[in-house]
């Protein structure tokens, strides 16, 4: 059991994850769900980090969670990303005032013996410009009828539960847990992605799915995701994974620099920036005010996005042509880094990325 982010057991788990075959991240093999890596995480008690002691968890603080995620994402981004989606669902269930869900569904999620994932981004960052909800909820006797689709869900194939959100005509949103086997739910197969294909990310279709009110996590209300914990948009989790991936690239450059003096100035600069990002992340996670720190969660996300692109591409320059050959870790990191340009990006972060690419002030 990993008791804290400084535990040698966490180091051991990360060492194992990083040397296990990266075939699961293969660009073409959509069936390569990382069963074994996730099993190792469950066995090491990773799911327990995120829930309070009174419900069988270890109740890690937000800064300990960030420190743990930094190490996991440097070892295997795909596995860690899948974990974030499962944990997001777990925390939504753990945080609900709904006693039924907490008593009947939560215990197995905490041990990892059953899993849940989220299909909620259409409430915040996806399909918002369409002007009408892609997943519609209608109140009915004893619950809600759900119709439409959720464009994105990671690991729906392997999950027992789907934590989903839908919107009523009046704009109020309802968050609920649906058993994947429920009549009317169809989990589409995962898309071929630029990277992280093994995360099995695809759409969920709902055709007149009845959700009993005992499965409602929150709502109906405006902006249902803004209350409760679950790693929503604008939170620190996305930045944490970006910084973790970047640290793997910086470590690669450090190894090369041991015998290549020309890499030293680049390495020194990147290490300095990495240290600053990690410090700001952990301080924000401890609850230090953005004004005091001179860095908000949103500033951190924009800087982390920029840094992960620069660090992975610097690693490619250092690895030269060999790093461009498929199967080299650096080419995979470069593809993985682009994920942060599209994952859970609120509008100000998108804008900051665009300004950087356009070479204009944000």
Ligand X SMILES: Cc1cc2nc3c(=O)[nH]c(=O)nc-3n(C[C@H](O)[C@H](O)[C@H](O)COP(=O)(O)OP(=O)(O)OC[C@H]3O[C@@H](n4cnc5c(N)ncnc54)[C@H](O)[C@@H]3O)c2cc1C
**Does 151 sit near ligand X (CB under 6 A)?**
yes
Site for ligand X in 336-355 (CB under 6 A): 342-344
Rounded CA-CA distance 352/309 in Å is 14
**According to CB under 6 A, which residues from 57 to 96 bind ligand X?**
85
| Secondary structure letter of residue 54 according to DSSP | G
Q: Near ligand X by CB under 6 A, which window of 64-72, 147-155, 248-256, 319-327?
A: 147-155
Nearer to ligand X, 67 or 118 (CB): 118
DSSP conformational letter for 7: -
Q: How far is the CB of 249 from ligand X (least distance, A)?
A: 20
Q: What's the closest the beta carbon of residue 128 comes to ligand X, in angstroms?
A: 6
Pick 32 or 58: Cβ nearer ligand X: 32
CB-based contacts of 32: which residues, under 8 Å, 6+ apart?
23, 24, 25, 26, 197, 198
Q: What residue spans of 179-233 are helical by DSSP H?
A: none
Which residues 181-200 are close enough to bind ligand X by CB under 6 A? 193, 196, 199
Nearest CA-CA partner of 219 in 311, 120, 315: 120
Among 63, 78, 115, 154, binds ligand X (CB under 6 A): 154
**Cβ 218 to ligand X shortest distance, Å:** 15
Give the chain's count of helices (H) and strands (E).
12, 8
Pairwise CA distance, residues 36 & 42, whole Å: 10
Sign of CA dihedral 332, 337, 339, 341: negative
Q: How far is Cα 50 from Cα 87, in angstroms, rounded to an integer? A: 7
Rounded Cα distance between 349 and 284, Å, is 17
* Interaction between residue 280 and ligand X (CB under 6 A): no
For residues 69 and 152, which CB has a smaller minimum distance to ligand X in the complex?
152
Binding flag, residue 132, ligand X (CB under 6 A): no
In the bound state with ligand X, the residue whose beta carbon lies nearer, of 73 and 117, is 117
Interaction between residue 201 and ligand X (CB under 6 A): yes
What angle do the packed helices 264-285 and 237-257 form, to 10 degrees?
Answer: 150
Return the structure tokens found at 237: 């989790």
Q: Does 152 bind ligand X (CB under 6 A)?
A: yes
> Contact with ligand X (CB under 6 A): which of 73, 96, 98, 121?
121
* Interacting residues with ligand X (CB under 6 A): 85, 117-121, 125-127, 129, 151-154, 193, 196, 199, 201, 342-344
């Amino acid at each position: 059991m990993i008791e804290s982010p400084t535990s040698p057991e966490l180091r051991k788990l990360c060492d194992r994850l990083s040397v296990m075959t990266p075939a699961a991240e293969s660009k073409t093999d959509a069936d390569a769900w990382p069963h074994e890596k996730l099993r190792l995480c469950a066995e090491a008690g990773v799911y327990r980090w995120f829930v309070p002691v009174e419900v069988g968890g270890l109740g890690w603080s937000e800064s300990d969670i960030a420190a743990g995620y930094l190490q996991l994402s440097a070892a295997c981004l795909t596995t860690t990303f899948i974990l974030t989606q499962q944990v997001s669902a777990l925390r939504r269930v753990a945080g609900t005032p709904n006693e039924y869900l907490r008593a009947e569904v939560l215990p197995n999620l905490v041990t990892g013996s059953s899993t849940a994932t989220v299909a909620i981004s259409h409430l915040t960052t996806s399909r918002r410009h369409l002007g009408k909800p892609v997943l519609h909820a209608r109140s009915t006797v004893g619950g809600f009828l759900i119709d439409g689709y959720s464009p994105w869900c990671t690991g729906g194939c392997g999950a027992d539960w789907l934590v989903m959100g839908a919107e009523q005509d009046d704009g109020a949103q309802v968050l609920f847990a649906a058993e994947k086997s429920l009549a009317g739910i169809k989990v589409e197969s995962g898309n071929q992605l630029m990277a992280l294909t093994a995360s099995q990310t695809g759409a969920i279709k709902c055709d007149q799915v009845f959700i009993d009110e005992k499965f409602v996590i929150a709502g109906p209300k405006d902006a249902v995701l803004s209350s409760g914990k679950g790693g929503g948009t604008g939170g620190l989790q996305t930045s944490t994974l970006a910084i973790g991936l970047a640290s793997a690239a910086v470590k690669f450059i450090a190894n090369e620099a041991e015998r290549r003096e020309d890499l030293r100035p680049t390495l020194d600069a990147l290490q300095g920036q990495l240290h600053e990002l990690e410090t700001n992340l952990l301080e924000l996670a401890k609850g230090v005010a953005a004004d005091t720190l001179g860095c908000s969660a949103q500033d951190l996300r924009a800087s982390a996005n920029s840094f992960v692109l620069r660090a992975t591409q610097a690693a490619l320059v250092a690895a030269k042509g060999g790093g461009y050959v498929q199967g080299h870790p650096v080419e995979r990191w470069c593809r993985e880094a682009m994920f942060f340009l599209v994952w859970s990006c609120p509008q100000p972060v998108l804008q900051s990325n665009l300004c950087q690419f356009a070479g204009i002030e944000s």
